[in-house]
């Protein structure tokens, strides 16, 4: 896109805002208002309401970056998979059942299990 293409009103407003506060400030504010908050709350609220805890998949999944650095690794939040389990013996959702069948293990183990050395590089010990 060249700088001379006509801009929408929103684009004009946004670029004016960027100009007046600076790009860094703008992005910080933007992230605060829309990006992180939105996705995190929207996701967890919706899925929690749908699947009762006792029939939730037991796999551990990678959540949001926690922003803590350990050595050269940035840590992520360890979450329980929000999907519904489909088997009474494995207690896993279709995706994680599939992962089990394909690889013989879960990428991040089970939520209730202790972290392995490799998983600590992802989640740390918080």
Judged by the rule CB under 5 A, the positions of this chain that interact with Zn ion are: 57, 59, 81, 83, 93, 96
Between 81 and 122, whose beta carbon lies closer to Zn ion? 81
Q: Residues 41, 42, 44, CA angle at the centre, nearest 5°?
A: 65
Contact 49, 84 (CB under 8 A): no
- Least distance from Zn ion to the Cβ atom of residue 36, Å: 23
Between 93 and 122, whose beta carbon lies closer to Zn ion? 93
Contact 97, 86 (CB under 8 A): yes
- Least distance from Zn ion to the Cβ atom of residue 90, Å: 10
Between 110 and 120, whose beta carbon lies closer to Zn ion? 110
Distance CA 67, CA 100 (A): 30
- Least distance from Zn ion to the Cβ atom of residue 121, Å: 21
Contact 100, 106 (CB under 8 A): yes
């Amino acid at each position: 896109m060249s700088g001379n293409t006509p801009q929408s009103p929103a684009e004009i407003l946004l670029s004016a805002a960027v100009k007046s506060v600076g790009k860094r400030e703008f992005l910080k504010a933007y992230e605060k208002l829309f990006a992180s908050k939105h996705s995190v709350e929207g996701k967890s609220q919706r899925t929690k309401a749908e699947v009762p805890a006792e029939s939730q998949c037991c796999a551990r999944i990678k959540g949001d970056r926690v922003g803590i650095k350990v050595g050269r690794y940035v840590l992520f939040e360890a979450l329980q998979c929000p999907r519904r389990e489909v088997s009474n013996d494995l207690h896993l959702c279709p995706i994680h059942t599939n992962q089990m069948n394909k690889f013989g293990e879960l990428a991040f183990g089970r939520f209730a299990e202790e972290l392995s050395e490799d998983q600590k590089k992802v989640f740390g010990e918080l």
